[in-house]
Amino acid sequence: MNSAISVSAQAVSRVSPFNVYTAGIKELGDRLTKGSITCREIVDIYLQQIKRHNGQLRALIHMMPEQQLVQLAAELDEERAEGKLRGPLHGIPIVLKDNIATDVELGMPTTAGSFALIGMPVKGDALLVQKLREAGAIIIGKANLSELASYKTLSAQGWSAVGGQTINVYAAHASPGSSSAGNGVAVAAGFCPASVGTDTDGSLLLPSFKAALYTLKPSAGLISQAGIVPFAPYFDSAGPMAKDVYDLAILLDVMSGQNENEEKESGAGSNAAAPKYVDSIANPSFEGYKIGVPREQWHDAHLWLRTGKSRVGEELAEAFEAAIMTMRSRGAVVTDPADIASAVDGTLWKCAEGARIKVVCADFKEYVGRYLRGLGGEGGCRSVEDIIAFNEEHADIELPPEHPDQEVLKWTKRAISVDSDEYLAAKREMQEVAGTNGLDAVFDQYDLDAIFSLAESGQHSAANMVGYPLGAVPLGITKDGVPFGAMFIGRKYSERTLLGIMSAWEATFGPRPLPPIANDSDSGRM
């Protein structure tokens, strides 16, 4: 772990001008514009918060060296003083998941939480990082994650060999969520105003639910994957995690766009002429939005959606039903039920357990191999098989007694080829079952703008199988202190519609709950 994280906190002699647990990009930007604070001061405040709490929470795995951070902040302050404003991210600290490449000049490796990737430097920033840095963002640190974005084992959420176990900042006994766990905890714990994680099948949504945050997984291809350690490119996307919807929109505006090779492969054109995402949240209201509620789920733990009986719990069920009533009372046109045919007949579940797994395993083996072979350094791991062997040879650090498995990595031994007819057939099956006979059918039948559900319903997997966008919103907090949330699924490239709905949610349901450490006398307004 970078030494900048482990330095013990020094006493802060003055009161911070902002609350680290609630401040977002807009508030910090407004303060910078008014001159009531400098970028250097913002960085100092976040550094103190990180030093105070990261030793316990293990949200961050690497930090930019402190002297370098201070120098960069001073340079951005000087640019602002000279009238050279880069945009709303100018001087704003951002945390990245540690599977997103950062140039070696930033002083942080890109390891995906695995010792197997240490000593194998990336060749530069990921494209989305280039965009963030050009916009004036400061990459203050990199977040811990489920090792290899959960592709090592499914039994260690928020744990990596390099970073250790990330702790839920709301309730230490609870899971911090899926593979972007460190991102969620970093934002909720006041280490940064917002972060950028990645998602294959729930890795943005689940940590956001557990940290009472907003997130948006964009449509497949909206944000470049160049320079991100791949899991399954057919499903993968980077996305923002934040305390409010404005920050999601600003980060999407900056990060959207592919490189030339990706545009040729996907057939997508430039997004430069499209309206800004931030414009979609100017008038937050549910009025006129058409929202569907699937009641017949393909996950048997959620019979409560139709019968009221479930392992989910009364608190989640009551909050979910109350939210539906509130949206309807505020002008939303709610279709309830709006069942997904392929969920009702069981084919969605079969596809998820069959075709989806085939594509994920094939993608991981192929594209991780390509990624590893493109890294620098001498020797090192250049294939998935090399990583498996490395872990076995270094079992004391990679396969400790509390996390001895790498069963997901070993699935790739049975992986089909991405050039095989079986692979292409599996992708067609997902498109038919999750798309044509699934989400597309229910969107068209009821003329919906979005589908509303809980994470526990498993509906996010249907969206991920066809690359549709998902937005997560805070819904409540249980009696034992664990936050939970709800999600909206949109049609492909309907991010502006989802952001509009999510901004209406934020305006209607009020402030998100803060973690217990926000009540500490020496936290928050330090």
Whole-number pLDDT of residue 101: 99
The percent of residues above 90 in pLDDT, for the chain, comes to 84
Eight-state DSSP code of residue 431: I
Strand order in the sheet with 60-63: 60-63, 138-143, 93-97, 194-199, 237-242, 214-217, 470-477, 483-490, 450-454, 290-292, 333-335
Average pLDDT over residues 280-287: 97
Active site annotation includes 179: yes
User: What average pLDDT does this structure show over 404-417?
Assistant: 96
Looking at every residue in the chain, the average pLDDT score rounds to 92
Structure tokens at 53: 């709490």
Which residue in 146, 179, 224, 494 is the catalytic one? Answer: 179
Catalytic residue among 97, 217, 243, 358: 97
The residue annotated as part of the active site, out of 203, 219, 224, 237, is: 203
Identify whether 203 is a catalytic site residue: yes
Residue 286, class by beta-carbon neighbours within 10 Å (0-12 exposed, 13-18 middle, 19+ buried)?
Answer: buried
pLDDT at res. 520:
80
pLDDT of residue 302: 42
Per cent of the chain over pLDDT 70 is: 91
For residue 151, report the phi and psi dihedrals to the nearest 5 degrees.
Answer: -90, 5
Question: Taking residues 132-160, what's their average pLDDT?
Answer: 97
Question: Which CATH superfamily hosts domain 20-264?
Answer: Amidase signature (AS) domain (3.90.1300.10)
pTM, two decimal places: 0.94
User: Cα 173 from chain centroid?
Assistant: 22
Residue range 299-307: average pLDDT? 43
449-461 pLDDT tens trace: 999 998 777 889 9
CA distance 332 to 343: 25
Q: What would the 3-class secondary structure string for 175-218 be?
A: CCCCCCHHHHHHHHCCCCCEEEEEECCCCCHHHHHHCCCEEEEC
Q: Is the pLDDT of residue 156 over 60?
A: yes
Asked if the model's pLDDT at residue 163 lies above 90, the reply is yes
Residues in the chain, overall count: 526
Residue 308 has pLDDT above 70, yes or no: no
**Average pLDDT in the 277-306 region?**
79
What is the tens place of the pLDDT at every residue in 245-258?
Answer: 999 999 999 999 98
492 is catalytic: no
pLDDT the model gives residue 267? 52
